[in-house]
Amino acid sequence: MPEHGPAAAWPGHRLTLLPAGWQLPVPAGKSLLHAAIAAGIQLPSSCRNGTCRACLARLVSGDIVYLVDWPGLLADEKAEGWILPCVASALSDLVIEAPAARQMG
């Protein structure tokens, strides 16, 4: 049984953004950036294809999958938990550090 209640309330997985603690759903196959925008949260971004690194954030917990073959990260950076939310989707509930996240509107 998931800790976060009925699946219908969370289509996909739950993303928690630190330090604010905002929580939002990540639909299967959608990027974390897409999910944030849909939830009214702005994350830094530019290219949205995994090359510019403007969206760089750190994965605190959970598992991601990349939607592109070659996200612009070094192996060392991946090992340290750095991710690119514009091309990453969720394989589990996630917690990421995104200090520049802002609520839109």
Please select the residue that binds ligand FES; options are 24, 73, 84, 98, rule is CB under 6 A: 84
List the one residue from 15, 35, 41, 50 that touches ligand FES (CB under 6 A): 50
Q: Are 12 and 92 in contact (CB under 8 A)?
A: no
Task: Based on the shown chain and the rule CB under 6 A, indicate whether residue 95 belongs to the binding site for ligand FES.
Answer: no
47 binds ligand FES, rule: CB under 6 A: yes
Residues at the contact surface with ligand FES, assessed by CB under 6 A: 45-48, 50-55, 72, 84, 86
